[in-house]
């Protein structure tokens, strides 16, 4: 007669209850000793005659699967986990759920919510202060603890660029007490953006330093480059001619004539020693 024994203890299984695992038979005792899960709540094995409820590799007897606070059964009910504890939705909401900034009611686990700077809203409560339409995932602009959709903010609060007349919704530049988009505030001559750059003005028009020097600065009689006069640049002026300080030198010996006497010969300037032979 062919034998039918427990795969582990080799006792006969004829007429006994057994469990198959990977096509091998086990008596109930061996199976529970080898493979039964341990209940997270009571610490006892979950036998073959019990329902094994599992969540994230943890196991419970059906009777042990309850809320850690109120101990109501969680079998076939929604629940939430917090710090290895299982909680019914009521207990979780009472202790941990955030409250809606608008309606002050609890935001239940699993429901969609909007968060901004530490505050939370029900999705339907996160609305534009002006038109009262839900903002959802669209762009919005906060002002004075109120949130506005972009079209409403532009209508009610936005400054308008003096150049293009369109609303300024972010950043911007103020020049002569008038608002500009950063991309609209450009050099009058070359149109390069001036935001964050050094610039100057003439007749109320803004210029980058390069354009201003090319257009309006006096030219040095020595090197012929512009004398900007900006940023404290020092220069010498004599008979309608100008020199950079570093260029105001004797034509013959190159001695600096800044603060010294000098002579002129046609368009040249000379130190007194070199001018003796004139």
pLDDT reported for residue 186: 93
Tell me, what's the pLDDT at 65? Answer: 94
Q: Is this prediction's pTM over 0.75? A: no
> Are 209 and 230 contacting, i.e. CB atoms less than 8 angstroms apart?
yes
User: Nearest to residue 203, comparing CAs of 184, 223, 189?
Assistant: 189
Per-residue pLDDT of the chain (278 residues; tens, 9 = 90+): 577 888 888 888 888 887 788 888 888 888 888 888 889 999 888 888 788 898 988 999 999 999 999 999 999 998 888 888 899 988 887 777 788 888 988 887 677 888 888 888 888 899 998 899 998 888 888 888 888 998 888 788 778 899 998 888 777 898 888 899 999 999 999 999 998 888 888 888 899 988 888 888 788 888 888 876 655 567 888 887 888 888 889 988 888 888 888 888 888 888 888 887 76
Give me the pLDDT at residue 104, please: 86
Question: Within 10 Å of residue 110's Cβ, how many Cβ atoms?
Answer: 8
Give, in order, the Cα–Cα distances in Å from 40 to each of 89, 198, 202, 221: 20, 69, 80, 93
Q: How far apart are CA 108 and CA 93, in angstroms?
A: 6
pLDDT value of position 278:
64
Q: Name 83's Cβ contacts closer than 8 Å, sequence gap at least 6.
A: none
pLDDT for 1: 53
pLDDT single digits (tens) 88-116: 988 887 777 788 888 988 887 677 888 88
Give the Cα separation of 49 and 68 in Å (integer): 25
């Amino acid at each position: 007669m062919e034998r039918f024994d427990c795969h582990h203890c080799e006792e006969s299984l004829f007429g006994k209850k057994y469990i198959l695992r990977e096509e091998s038979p086990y008596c109930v005792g061996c199976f529970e000793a080898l493979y039964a899960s341990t209940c997270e709540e009571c610490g006892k094995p979950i036998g073959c005659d019990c329902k094994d409820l599992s969540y994230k590799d943890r196991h419970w007897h059906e009777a042990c699967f309850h809320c850690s606070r109120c101990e109501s059964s969680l079998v076939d009910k929604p629940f939430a986990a917090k710090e290895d504890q299982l909680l019914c939705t009521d207990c979780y909401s009472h202790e941990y759920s955030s409250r809606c900034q608008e309606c002050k009611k609890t935001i239940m686990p699993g429901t969609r919510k909007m968060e901004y700077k530490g505050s939370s809203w029900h999705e339907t409560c996160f609305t534009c202060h002006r038109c009262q339409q839900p903002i959802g995932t669209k762009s919005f602009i906060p002002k004075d603890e109120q949130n506005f959709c972009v079209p409403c903010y532009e209508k009610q609060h936005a400054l308008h660029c003096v150049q293009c007349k369109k609303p300024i919704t972010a950043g911007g530049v103020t020049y002569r007490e008038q608002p500009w988009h950063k991309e609209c505030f450009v050099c009058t001559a070359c149109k390069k953006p001036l935001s964050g750059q050094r610039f100057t003005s003439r007749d109320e028009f803004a210029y980058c330093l390069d354009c201003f020097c090319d257009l309006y600065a006096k030219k040095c009689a020595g090197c012929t480059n512009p004398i900007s006069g900006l940023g404290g640049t020092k220069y010498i002026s004599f008979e309608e001619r100008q020199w950079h300080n570093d260029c105001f030198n004797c034509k013959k010996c190159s001695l600096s004539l800044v603060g010294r006497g000098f002579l002129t010969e046609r368009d040249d300037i000379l130190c007194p020693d070199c001018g003796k032979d004139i």
